[in-house]
Amino acid sequence: MKITIVAVGRLKSGPEKYLWDDYARRLTWSVQLKEVEEKKPLPPKQLRQSEGALLFEKVPSDALVIALDQSGKSLSSIHFAERLQTWMIEGIRDVAFLVGGSDGLSPDVLARAHLRLCMGAQTWPHLLARCMLLEQIYRAQCILGNHPYHK
C-alpha cells in the first residue's frame, strides 16, 4: 500500500521540516508528501474551495481518501494501526490523507472523503499536523511490526 499525504502549504526549513525528515527516514512503508498552495488572496470560503481542488489534483486515482478534520473520528494509535492493516488486507493500493490550510477543508472535500479523521480536540498548526500524522503512520508501522517504539 502506498500512502500519500497531500497538504496545503510548503514545509520550509525549520523545526517542522526536521521533524518530518526524522520520521520519514524511519519509515519502511511508502509515504509521499505532495504540497499544494493557492497563491491568490481569496476570501476564506473561496480559498477552501480552491485548495480543495488543488488537493484532489494530487490524490492518486482510486485512492482511499482520508480528510483530517476536527469534527472527524478520533482513533487511538492502536485502532489507527488496525485500520491501516485492514486496508492492506483488503488490497487497498493507495491511501491519501488530506491536510487543509488554516481555514480548514471545504465541504466538497469532506463529502468526498471515505473517512474524516480527527487528531484530537485541540487545534494544531497545519504544518505541524502533517508531522504528527507522519509520526502516527510510523507508530502504526511499529505497532504492526511489534517494535517497542509504541510502549
User: CA 70, CA 103: separation in Å to the nearest integer?
Assistant: 12
Q: What is the pLDDT of residue 121?
A: 87
In Å, what is the CA distance from 102 to each residue of 7, 52, 64?
11, 13, 23
Residue 62 predicted with pLDDT over 90: yes
Q: Are strands 64-74 and 115-118 parallel, antiparallel or unpaired?
A: parallel
In Å, what is the CA distance from 18 to each residue of 7, 12, 34, 35, 148?
17, 9, 17, 17, 23
Residue 151 predicted with pLDDT over 80: no
What kind and span of H or E run contains 83? helix 77-89
Least confident of 109-113, 120-124, 130-134: 120-124
Q: CB atoms < 10 A from the CB of 148, how many?
A: 6
Share of the chain above pLDDT 90, in %: 87
Tens-place pLDDT, residues 4-59: 999 999 999 899 999 999 999 999 999 999 999 999 999 999 999 999 999 999 99
- The pTM (predicted TM-score) of the whole model is 0.94
Amino acid code (one letter) for 30: S
Grid coordinates belonging to 103: 481555514
Mean pLDDT of the 101-126 span: 92
Residue 95 predicted with pLDDT over 70: yes
Q: What is the pLDDT of residue 106?
A: 95
Query: Which residues are CB-contacts of 99 (< 8 A; sequence separation ≥ 6)?
Result: 5, 6, 7, 8, 68, 126, 129, 130, 133
Mean per-residue pLDDT over the chain, rounded: 94
